[in-house]
Amino acid sequence: MSDPLRVGIAGLGTVGASVAQLLRQDAARLAQACGRDITIAAVCARDRGRDRGVDLGHARWYDDPAAMAASGDIDLVVELIGGEDGAARATVEAALGAGHHVVTANKALLAHHGVALARLAEKHAAGLYFEAAVAGGIPVIKALRESLAGNRISRVYGILNGTCNYILTRMEREGSDFSDVLADAQAKGYAEADPTFDIGGFDTAHKLAILTSLAFGTEIDLDSVYVEGITNIGPEDLAAADELGYRIKLLGVALVTETGIEQRVHPTMVAKRTPIAEIDGVTNAVAIDGHFVGEVMLVGPGAGGRATASAVVGDICDAARGIMVPPLRVPASELAPYQRAQMRAHEGGYYIRLSVYDRPGAFAAIAARMAEQGISLESIVQRAAHSPGSSEPKPVILITHETTEAQVREALDIIGADGHIERDPQMIRIEQA
């Protein structure tokens, strides 16, 4: 049996404590599978006294995680500090610079500095593992980096944020308003006190930017991700989607097009009875379209201390077994620049909900404007006003055949200017799953 792999854990919150528990409780089983012992040689956390449900008595305590990462005490550092800069970045850079492997769950760090860190890892022949950074316990990084290496990937998309999916699922089932479900989710601990990062789509964007690089061999470009959150989705949209045979999910989608690579995060209509449409609650799912494999989808828990620890320990086992590949699948020096496709060129179907003033000719005028822009309609649903006989605007729902974002936006601008509709129209993109 080889020498033990000496692990240093930086950050002993929920995930870190779970990692330590798993490594200690299952030490014999992990040693059997990996052909060597995995020991917790060092830890770094603010509070030394807190009970974390695991005996860390044999580990050396550090106050400075970067000092631990660079020390001769360890072979691998688990970075669970979080944040795109500061101590997390310093720790990872110190470890890689010393030729130590890094396992991290830090999506922000990778989305902002992933290419530079991959280059540093390769320079020092160290491994950089981050299965836990995207979709928690789902092994999507390994699938893209290794299992599907034979494929040219054309699209990767998924439900990457459990909070948003939980909120949309409850809104759909209960017919509730966004704000009511959000408040309840916050009370139950499924949403943060400041939920902007989740519900605004930014968390999904970070994860998507990492997946894009792995899928297409391009540099990570977080700033180019088009982002819309779910705050604008109402129960009337979920009800209409249901009636028309769809569900609404916050998807991250990265797609090769003729003009570049689309990276977009937005509420999306997906057809019922496709597997992605049936992913409910906090569960995540990632689908990958490859030119030989077709579509593969991975489903599982996207967050939580234990599920994330599963991914971290899987990565530690990889390192222990000597499994080391370029962090971003191809060597960092060979990544292509990211070429952004313009959202205006996006092609797909659209769901459009309008509040139309109940006047003769209003609907005909709207239909004519859509036709002028070359948009053909698959479905039209006109509902009665909430109070029959009232003069309040009537909801009209249109599902378009495939068209471009530019055409839809142009048509909606003109329809708005015509004065037939109240408020801004609702527009939700449809994705073929």
Binding interface with a copy of itself (CB under 8 A): 18, 22, 26, 29-30, 32-35, 131, 137-139, 142-143, 146-152, 217, 273-275, 277-280, 285, 290, 292-301, 304, 306-307, 309-314, 316-318, 321-323, 325-326, 329-331, 334
Are the C-beta atoms of residues 343 and 262 closer than 8 Å to each other? yes
Question: Between residues 66 and 311, which has the closer beta carbon with respect to a copy of itself?
Answer: 311
Residue 226 CB, shortest distance to a copy of itself, in Å, is 27
Instruction: Give Cβ neighbours of residue 421 (< 8 Å, ≥ 6 apart).
Output: 354, 355, 356, 357, 366, 393, 415
Residue 400 CB, shortest distance to a copy of itself, in Å, is 26
**Whole-angstrom distance, CA of residue 115 vs CA of residue 219:** 7
Residue 35 CB, shortest distance to a copy of itself, in Å, is 8
Question: Between residues 4 and 314, which has the closer beta carbon with respect to a copy of itself?
Answer: 314
Question: Between residues 30 and 354, which has the closer beta carbon with respect to a copy of itself?
Answer: 30
Torsion sign (Cα): 74, 78, 83, 84: positive
Question: Between residues 278 and 413, which has the closer beta carbon with respect to a copy of itself?
Answer: 278
Burial of residue 257 (CB within 10 Å: 0-12, 13-18, 19+) is middle
Question: Between residues 175 and 419, which has the closer beta carbon with respect to a copy of itself?
Answer: 175
Question: Between residues 325 and 365, which has the closer beta carbon with respect to a copy of itself?
Answer: 325
**Whole-angstrom distance, CA of residue 41 vs CA of residue 151:** 39
**Whole-angstrom distance, CA of residue 170 vs CA of residue 173:** 5
| Marked catalytic residue, from 107, 123, 142, 207 | 207
Residue 9 to residues 28, 77, 178: CA-CA distances in angstroms?
19, 6, 39
394 classed as catalytic: no
Residue 1 CB, shortest distance to a copy of itself, in Å, is 11
Residue 305 CB, shortest distance to a copy of itself, in Å, is 9
Other C-beta atoms closer than 10 Å to the C-beta of 2 total: 11
Task: Report the Cα–Cα distance between both ends of the chain, in Å, rounded.
Answer: 47
Question: Between residues 44 and 159, which has the closer beta carbon with respect to a copy of itself?
Answer: 159
Other C-beta atoms closer than 10 Å to the C-beta of 173 total: 12
**Whole-angstrom distance, CA of residue 219 vs CA of residue 234:** 36
**Whole-angstrom distance, CA of residue 154 vs CA of residue 162:** 25
Residue 104 CB, shortest distance to a copy of itself, in Å, is 16
Residue 131 CB, shortest distance to a copy of itself, in Å, is 7
Catalytic residue set: 207
